[in-house]
Amino acid sequence: MSVLTLAALLSSTTLAAPAGSKHNVYLVHCDPQDCPIGLCDPGDFTIAAAAYFANGPVTEGTTRVSTPTSLGRLSDGILKWEGTSRSVRLGTAGTLKSNIPTSARTAAKGDLAGDATLGTEEFVCFKDGSTKFAISNDGDRYTCTTDYWCGSVDAGSTTTPAGPRKR
């Protein structure tokens, strides 16, 4: 299914309830809230990850730790989602494959930016760049900034896809 078809499907499912899935994936970069070795240069311990939330969108904010259903990190040293297809394992949910073109870097927030699949479930991805939330990973607390938000276009659930919730 093409990205345009996915976008049209998402638009039609958000207008009519009930439709869509509550599955959300956030393609993020995360910085540690405390330097694990004392004094760090900015970006020394930044990770890029896919945060999968099976039960609805994340609640935006950094004061409370969000717990994704699964978190998959990109390989060390890879900190961007754009320009090539990326794959990351999201535990028992499967492997997420994202397709975010280089041109998405300059898109405005909310613009269509690409697509992704998690197993057979299809997602459409939108530029974000500002939604922040906190996670705990390997015992360290991180603040994550959403580069792209991907909403499922699976019509098998009774919840309409939605972006992050404000607290």
The predicted-structure confidence for 74-94, as pLDDT tens digits, reads as follows 986 778 999 989 999 999 999
- Name the helix (H) or strand (E) containing 15: helix 3-15
Residue 39 predicted with pLDDT over 90: no
In which domain, by residue range, is 132 found?
A: 24-153
Q: Omega of the bond prior to 42 within 30 degrees of 0, cis?
A: no
Q: Is residue 109 part of a domain?
A: yes
Using CA atoms, how far apart are residues 52 and 49, in angstroms rounded to an integer?
A: 10
Q: Is residue 16 part of a domain?
A: no
pLDDT in tens, 101-154: 999 999 999 999 999 999 999 999 999 999 999 998 878 888 999 999 999 998
Q: Is residue 71 part of a domain?
A: yes
Q: Is residue 4 part of a domain?
A: no
To the nearest whole number, what is the mean pLDDT of the chain?
A: 80
Say if CB 121 and CB 110 are below 8 A apart.
no
Between the CA atoms of 31, 165, 94 and 110, what dihedral angle is there, to the nearest 10 degrees?
-80
Q: Is residue 19 part of a domain?
A: no
Q: Is residue 126 part of a domain?
A: yes
Using CA atoms, how far apart are residues 86 and 25, in angstroms rounded to an integer?
A: 14
pLDDT at 101 (0 to 100): 97
Burial class, 129, CB count within 10 angstroms (exposed 0-12 / middle 13-18 / buried 19+): middle
Summary count for the chain: helices (H), strands (E): 1, 10
Q: Is residue 48 part of a domain?
A: yes
Q: Is residue 36 part of a domain?
A: yes
Domain count along the chain? 1
